Amino acid sequence: MRVNHEVDALVGPCGRCGDSVPFDVVIDNAIWRGVPNEFRYGVLCLPCIDRVLPEGLHPDSIENVYASTSHGTVALLPVRAK
């Protein structure tokens, strides 16, 4: 996926892997408190959130996902794949 940080990305780059973060993911605060302090106050991409949480990121803990384009930001509805 092409990501232009100046146009597309809401935030970024990820403080752990350095990749761009085109999606802003909102997770339950209780789950976020499980993120190690070294990453908790910065930007993390979704795969890194999953990796740093001791038990991984459960899909039900994702409350909202936002994506940004040059025409604006949209909220994506998180739906658990079957």
Q: What residues make contact with Zn ion under the rule CB under 5 A? A: 14, 16-17, 45, 48
Which C-beta is closer to Zn ion: that of 17 or that of 76?
A: 17
* Distance in Å, CB of 72 to Zn ion, minimum: 25
Which CB sits closer to Zn ion, 16 or 61? Answer: 16
CB of 73 to Zn ion, least distance (A): 20
For residue 79 the two structure tokens come to 């739906």
Contacts of 4 (CB under 8 A, 6+ apart): none
Task: Confirm if 34 and 42 have CB atoms less than 8 A apart.
Answer: no
Give the shortest CB-49-to-Zn ion separation in angstroms.
Answer: 8
State which residue, 18 or 59, has the beta carbon closest to Zn ion.
18
Check if the beta carbon of residue 61 is closer than 8 Å to that of residue 53: no
Determine contact, residues 40/71, Cβ cutoff 8 Å.
no
